[in-house]
Protein backbone atom coordinates (compact mmCIF):
# COMPACT_ATOMS: atom_id res chain seq x y z
CA UNK A 1 0.00 0.00 0.00
CA UNK A 2 1.40 3.45 -0.87
CA UNK A 3 2.38 5.66 2.03
CA UNK A 4 0.38 8.66 3.12
CA UNK A 5 3.13 11.05 2.06
CA UNK A 6 2.93 9.63 -1.48
CA UNK A 7 -0.84 10.17 -1.61
CA UNK A 8 -1.32 13.31 0.44
CA UNK A 9 -1.84 16.31 -1.77
CA UNK A 10 -0.18 19.51 -0.61
CA UNK A 11 -3.71 20.86 -0.43
CA UNK A 12 -5.10 18.09 1.82
CA UNK A 13 -6.22 19.52 5.15
CA UNK A 14 -6.81 17.66 8.41
CA UNK A 15 -8.69 19.03 11.42
CA UNK A 16 -8.73 17.35 14.84
CA UNK A 17 -11.15 18.47 17.56
CA UNK A 18 -10.88 17.78 21.29
CA UNK A 19 -8.70 18.50 24.26
CA UNK A 20 -6.17 17.28 26.75
CA UNK A 21 -4.12 14.15 26.23
CA UNK A 22 -6.36 12.74 23.48
CA UNK A 23 -6.09 15.67 21.08
CA UNK A 24 -2.38 15.97 21.83
CA UNK A 25 -1.96 12.31 20.91
CA UNK A 26 -3.64 12.57 17.51
CA UNK A 27 -1.86 15.84 16.67
CA UNK A 28 1.45 14.26 17.66
CA UNK A 29 0.67 11.23 15.49
CA UNK A 30 0.11 13.52 12.50
CA UNK A 31 2.88 16.01 13.26
CA UNK A 32 4.86 15.01 10.13
CA UNK A 33 2.19 16.81 8.09
CA UNK A 34 2.83 20.13 9.81
CA UNK A 35 0.73 23.03 8.62
CA UNK A 36 -1.76 20.72 6.89
CA UNK A 37 -3.08 19.85 10.36
CA UNK A 38 -5.14 22.08 12.67
CA UNK A 39 -6.12 21.21 16.21
CA UNK A 40 -9.24 22.91 17.57
CA UNK A 41 -8.81 22.87 21.34
CA UNK A 42 -11.37 22.86 24.14
CA UNK A 43 -10.99 25.93 26.39
CA UNK A 44 -13.44 25.25 29.25
CA UNK A 45 -11.24 23.42 31.78
CA UNK A 46 -11.58 24.71 35.35
CA UNK A 47 -9.40 22.25 37.25
CA UNK A 48 -5.78 22.10 38.38
CA UNK A 49 -3.29 24.82 37.49
CA UNK A 50 -5.53 26.06 34.68
CA UNK A 51 -8.50 26.48 37.00
CA UNK A 52 -6.44 28.38 39.58
CA UNK A 53 -5.16 30.78 36.92
CA UNK A 54 -8.69 31.34 35.60
CA UNK A 55 -10.01 31.95 39.12
CA UNK A 56 -7.56 34.78 39.79
CA UNK A 57 -6.83 36.13 36.29
CA UNK A 58 -9.84 35.16 34.17
CA UNK A 59 -9.56 34.27 30.50
CA UNK A 60 -9.79 31.00 28.63
CA UNK A 61 -8.42 27.71 29.92
CA UNK A 62 -4.86 27.12 28.72
CA UNK A 63 -4.15 23.61 30.01
CA UNK A 64 -5.37 21.62 27.01
CA UNK A 65 -3.52 23.91 24.59
CA UNK A 66 -0.32 23.54 26.62
CA UNK A 67 -0.75 19.76 26.63
CA UNK A 68 -1.10 19.67 22.84
CA UNK A 69 1.95 21.86 22.32
CA UNK A 70 3.98 19.69 24.71
CA UNK A 71 3.18 16.58 22.69
CA UNK A 72 4.09 18.33 19.43
CA UNK A 73 7.59 19.35 20.49
CA UNK A 74 9.97 17.20 18.44
CA UNK A 75 13.22 19.02 19.24
CA UNK A 76 13.90 19.13 23.01
CA UNK A 77 15.39 22.46 24.05
CA UNK A 78 15.79 24.72 27.03
CA UNK A 79 12.59 26.40 25.88
CA UNK A 80 10.62 23.14 25.86
CA UNK A 81 12.01 22.19 29.29
CA UNK A 82 10.87 25.54 30.67
CA UNK A 83 7.45 25.22 29.02
CA UNK A 84 6.89 21.78 30.58
CA UNK A 85 8.20 22.68 34.05
CA UNK A 86 5.82 22.19 36.98
CA UNK A 87 6.46 23.83 40.35
CA UNK A 88 6.66 21.67 43.45
CA UNK A 89 6.60 22.48 47.15
CA UNK A 90 3.87 24.03 49.28
CA UNK A 91 3.79 27.69 48.22
CA UNK A 92 1.44 29.58 45.93
CA UNK A 93 3.25 28.29 42.83
CA UNK A 94 3.00 24.65 43.90
CA UNK A 95 1.30 22.56 41.21
CA UNK A 96 1.40 25.33 38.59
CA UNK A 97 2.71 24.44 35.17
CA UNK A 98 5.02 27.13 33.85
CA UNK A 99 3.63 26.66 30.35
CA UNK A 100 0.17 27.69 31.57
CA UNK A 101 1.64 30.80 33.20
CA UNK A 102 3.62 31.66 30.06
CA UNK A 103 0.55 31.37 27.85
CA UNK A 104 -1.48 33.51 30.24
CA UNK A 105 1.29 36.14 30.42
CA UNK A 106 1.56 36.25 26.63
CA UNK A 107 -2.22 36.43 26.41
CA UNK A 108 -2.14 39.52 28.66
CA UNK A 109 0.50 41.07 26.40
CA UNK A 110 -1.27 40.19 23.15
CA UNK A 111 -4.28 41.45 21.28
CA UNK A 112 -5.71 37.95 20.99
CA UNK A 113 -5.15 34.63 22.80
CA UNK A 114 -4.29 33.13 19.41
CA UNK A 115 -1.32 35.50 19.22
CA UNK A 116 0.04 33.95 22.43
CA UNK A 117 -0.22 30.48 20.87
CA UNK A 118 1.59 31.64 17.72
CA UNK A 119 4.48 33.02 19.79
CA UNK A 120 4.86 29.76 21.74
CA UNK A 121 4.61 27.69 18.54
CA UNK A 122 7.35 29.78 16.95
CA UNK A 123 9.57 29.49 20.03
CA UNK A 124 9.19 25.70 20.20
CA UNK A 125 9.23 25.17 16.40
CA UNK A 126 5.78 23.60 16.29
CA UNK A 127 4.32 23.68 12.76
CA UNK A 128 0.88 22.21 13.48
CA UNK A 129 -1.78 24.88 13.85
CA UNK A 130 -3.33 25.12 17.33
CA UNK A 131 -6.59 27.08 17.56
CA UNK A 132 -8.71 27.59 20.68
CA UNK A 133 -12.37 26.75 20.12
CA UNK A 134 -13.17 30.28 21.34
CA UNK A 135 -11.12 33.24 22.52
CA UNK A 136 -13.84 34.22 24.98
CA UNK A 137 -13.95 32.79 28.53
CA UNK A 138 -16.68 30.21 29.07
CA UNK A 139 -17.41 27.18 31.20
CA UNK A 140 -18.90 23.79 30.51
CA UNK A 141 -22.22 23.17 32.26
CA UNK A 142 -24.62 20.25 32.39
CA UNK A 143 -28.27 19.64 33.11
CA UNK A 144 -28.64 16.66 35.42
CA UNK A 145 -31.39 14.04 35.19
CA UNK A 146 -33.13 15.96 38.01
CA UNK A 147 -33.13 19.19 35.97
CA UNK A 148 -30.39 20.92 37.97
CA UNK A 149 -27.74 22.95 36.12
CA UNK A 150 -24.23 22.33 37.40
CA UNK A 151 -21.21 24.35 36.26
CA UNK A 152 -17.60 23.45 35.53
CA UNK A 153 -15.79 20.56 33.87
CA UNK A 154 -14.75 19.14 37.22
CA UNK A 155 -18.40 19.06 38.33
CA UNK A 156 -19.41 17.29 35.10
CA UNK A 157 -16.73 14.66 35.65
CA UNK A 158 -18.07 14.05 39.17
CA UNK A 159 -21.69 13.39 38.13
CA UNK A 160 -23.02 9.98 39.17
CA UNK A 161 -25.22 9.65 36.08
CA UNK A 162 -25.23 10.72 32.42
CA UNK A 163 -26.44 14.33 32.12
CA UNK A 164 -29.49 15.20 30.07
CA UNK A 165 -27.46 17.68 28.07
CA UNK A 166 -24.33 19.84 28.05
CA UNK A 167 -24.04 23.54 27.40
CA UNK A 168 -21.36 26.21 27.29
CA UNK A 169 -22.03 29.27 29.44
CA UNK A 170 -22.06 32.04 28.54
CA UNK A 171 -22.78 31.61 24.83
CA UNK A 172 -19.55 32.55 23.05
CA UNK A 173 -18.53 32.74 19.38
CA UNK A 174 -16.11 30.26 17.89
CA UNK A 175 -12.70 31.42 16.75
CA UNK A 176 -12.82 32.49 13.10
CA UNK A 177 -9.73 30.40 12.34
CA UNK A 178 -11.48 27.30 13.69
CA UNK A 179 -14.41 27.82 11.33
CA UNK A 180 -12.09 28.47 8.40
CA UNK A 181 -10.13 25.27 9.13
CA UNK A 182 -13.34 23.22 9.18
CA UNK A 183 -14.52 24.79 5.92
CA UNK A 184 -11.23 23.88 4.20
CA UNK A 185 -10.84 20.43 5.75
CA UNK A 186 -10.77 17.16 3.83
CA UNK A 187 -11.03 15.05 6.99
CA UNK A 188 -12.17 15.95 10.52
CA UNK A 189 -11.27 13.84 13.53
CA UNK A 190 -13.32 13.81 16.74
CA UNK A 191 -11.38 12.39 19.69
CA UNK A 192 -9.92 10.39 21.20
CA UNK A 193 -10.19 11.75 24.73
CA UNK A 194 -12.64 12.53 27.49
CA UNK A 195 -15.95 12.51 25.65
CA UNK A 196 -18.06 14.92 27.71
CA UNK A 197 -15.33 17.36 28.74
CA UNK A 198 -12.90 17.33 25.78
CA UNK A 199 -14.67 16.18 22.61
CA UNK A 200 -18.11 17.69 23.16
CA UNK A 201 -17.42 21.33 24.23
CA UNK A 202 -16.32 22.61 20.78
CA UNK A 203 -19.38 20.95 19.20
CA UNK A 204 -21.62 22.96 21.54
CA UNK A 205 -20.61 26.25 19.89
CA UNK A 206 -23.21 27.16 17.30
CA UNK A 207 -20.67 28.33 14.69
CA UNK A 208 -18.63 25.12 14.92
CA UNK A 209 -21.73 22.94 14.91
CA UNK A 210 -23.03 24.61 11.74
CA UNK A 211 -19.64 24.42 10.03
CA UNK A 212 -19.51 20.68 10.79
CA UNK A 213 -23.06 20.25 9.53
CA UNK A 214 -22.24 21.62 6.08
CA UNK A 215 -18.65 20.41 5.70
CA UNK A 216 -17.70 18.35 2.66
CA UNK A 217 -15.04 16.59 4.74
CA UNK A 218 -15.21 13.05 6.08
CA UNK A 219 -15.93 13.12 9.81
CA UNK A 220 -14.23 10.36 11.80
CA UNK A 221 -14.94 9.46 15.43
CA UNK A 222 -11.92 7.88 17.13
CA UNK A 223 -12.86 5.65 20.05
CA UNK A 224 -11.00 5.43 23.34
CA UNK A 225 -9.20 2.20 24.19
CA UNK A 226 -10.55 1.95 27.73
CA UNK A 227 -13.74 2.94 29.49
CA UNK A 228 -13.67 6.42 30.99
CA UNK A 229 -14.36 7.08 34.66
CA UNK A 230 -17.37 9.22 35.53
CA UNK A 231 -20.57 9.70 33.53
CA UNK A 232 -18.91 9.28 30.12
CA UNK A 233 -18.02 5.73 31.13
CA UNK A 234 -21.74 4.99 31.48
CA UNK A 235 -22.41 5.94 27.85
CA UNK A 236 -22.45 3.45 24.99
CA UNK A 237 -20.60 4.24 21.78
CA UNK A 238 -23.99 4.65 20.09
CA UNK A 239 -24.91 7.25 22.69
CA UNK A 240 -21.69 9.16 22.00
CA UNK A 241 -22.20 9.15 18.25
CA UNK A 242 -25.80 10.33 18.70
CA UNK A 243 -24.68 13.16 20.99
CA UNK A 244 -22.13 14.31 18.41
CA UNK A 245 -24.60 14.12 15.54
CA UNK A 246 -27.30 15.94 17.47
CA UNK A 247 -24.82 18.73 18.26
CA UNK A 248 -23.80 18.90 14.59
CA UNK A 249 -27.40 19.67 13.59
CA UNK A 250 -27.99 16.09 12.46
CA UNK A 251 -24.81 15.67 10.38
CA UNK A 252 -23.91 11.98 10.29
CA UNK A 253 -20.45 10.79 11.26
CA UNK A 254 -18.89 9.01 8.28
CA UNK A 255 -16.32 6.72 9.89
CA UNK A 256 -15.66 5.18 13.29
CA UNK A 257 -12.05 4.21 14.02
CA UNK A 258 -11.84 1.49 16.68
CA UNK A 259 -9.57 -1.25 17.96
CA UNK A 260 -12.23 -3.97 17.83
CA UNK A 261 -15.17 -4.96 15.59
CA UNK A 262 -18.36 -2.98 16.09
CA UNK A 263 -20.94 -5.22 14.45
CA UNK A 264 -23.83 -3.32 16.02
CA UNK A 265 -22.81 -0.17 14.09
CA UNK A 266 -21.95 -1.67 10.70
CA UNK A 267 -25.31 -0.91 9.11
CA UNK A 268 -25.06 2.81 9.88
CA UNK A 269 -21.34 3.62 9.75
CA UNK A 270 -18.15 2.81 7.95
CA UNK A 271 -16.00 1.04 10.55
CA UNK A 272 -12.23 0.87 10.37
CA UNK A 273 -10.76 -1.61 12.84
CA UNK A 274 -7.04 -1.47 13.57
CA UNK A 275 -4.63 -2.33 16.34
CA UNK A 276 -4.18 1.02 18.07
CA UNK A 277 -2.86 0.39 21.58
CA UNK A 278 0.66 1.21 22.69
CA UNK A 279 2.72 -1.82 23.66
CA UNK A 280 3.64 -0.02 26.90
CA UNK A 281 0.19 1.23 27.92
CA UNK A 282 -2.85 -0.63 26.55
CA UNK A 283 -5.13 2.33 27.30
CA UNK A 284 -3.01 4.76 25.24
CA UNK A 285 -3.02 5.06 21.45
CA UNK A 286 0.27 4.29 19.76
CA UNK A 287 1.24 7.26 17.60
CA UNK A 288 2.43 5.26 14.58
CA UNK A 289 -0.55 2.90 14.65
CA UNK A 290 -2.94 5.83 14.96
CA UNK A 291 -1.22 7.63 12.09
CA UNK A 292 -1.41 4.59 9.83
CA UNK A 293 -5.10 4.04 10.60
CA UNK A 294 -5.98 7.66 9.82
CA UNK A 295 -3.92 7.43 6.61
CA UNK A 296 -5.90 4.43 5.44
CA UNK A 297 -9.21 6.21 6.03
CA UNK A 298 -7.93 9.25 4.13
CA UNK A 299 -6.93 7.04 1.20
CA UNK A 300 -10.36 5.38 1.14
CA UNK A 301 -12.64 6.94 -1.42
DSSP 138-207: -EEEEE-TTS-EEESHHHHHT-SS--SEEEEES--PPPHHHHHHHHH-SEEEE-SS-IIIIIHHHHTSHH
CB 219 within 8 A of CB 254: yes
| Residue 11: predicted pLDDT | 75
Strand 14-18 versus strand 187-190 pairing type:
parallel
Q: How far apart are CA 293 and CA 256, in angstroms?
A: 11
How many Å is the Cα radius of gyration of the chain?
18
Whether residue 192 is preceded by a cis peptide bond, meaning omega within 30 degrees of 0, is: yes
CB 225 within 8 A of CB 289: no
pLDDT tens series, the chain, 301 aa: 444 455 555 678 999 999 989 999 999 999 999 999 999 999 999 999 999 999 999 999 999 999 999 999 988 888 889 999 999 988 899 999 999 999 999 999 999 999 999 999 999 999 999 999 999 999 999 999 999 999 999 999 999 999 999 999 999 999 999 999 999 999 999 999 999 999 999 999 999 999 999 999 999 999 999 999 999 999 999 999 999 999 999 999 999 999 999 999 999 999 999 999 888 877 889 999 999 999 999 988 6
Angle at 231 between CA 226 and CA 233, to 5 degrees: 20
Q: How far apart are CA 88 and CA 85, in angstroms?
A: 10
Q: pTM (2 decimals)?
A: 0.95
Amino acid sequence: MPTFTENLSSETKIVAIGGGHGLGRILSALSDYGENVTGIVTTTDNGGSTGRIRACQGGIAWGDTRNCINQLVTEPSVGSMIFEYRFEGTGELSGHNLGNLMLKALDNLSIRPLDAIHMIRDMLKVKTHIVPMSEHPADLAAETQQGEIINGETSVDELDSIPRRLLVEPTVPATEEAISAIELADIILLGPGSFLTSVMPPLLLKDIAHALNITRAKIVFITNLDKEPGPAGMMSLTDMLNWCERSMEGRKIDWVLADKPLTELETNYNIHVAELASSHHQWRHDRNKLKQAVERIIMTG
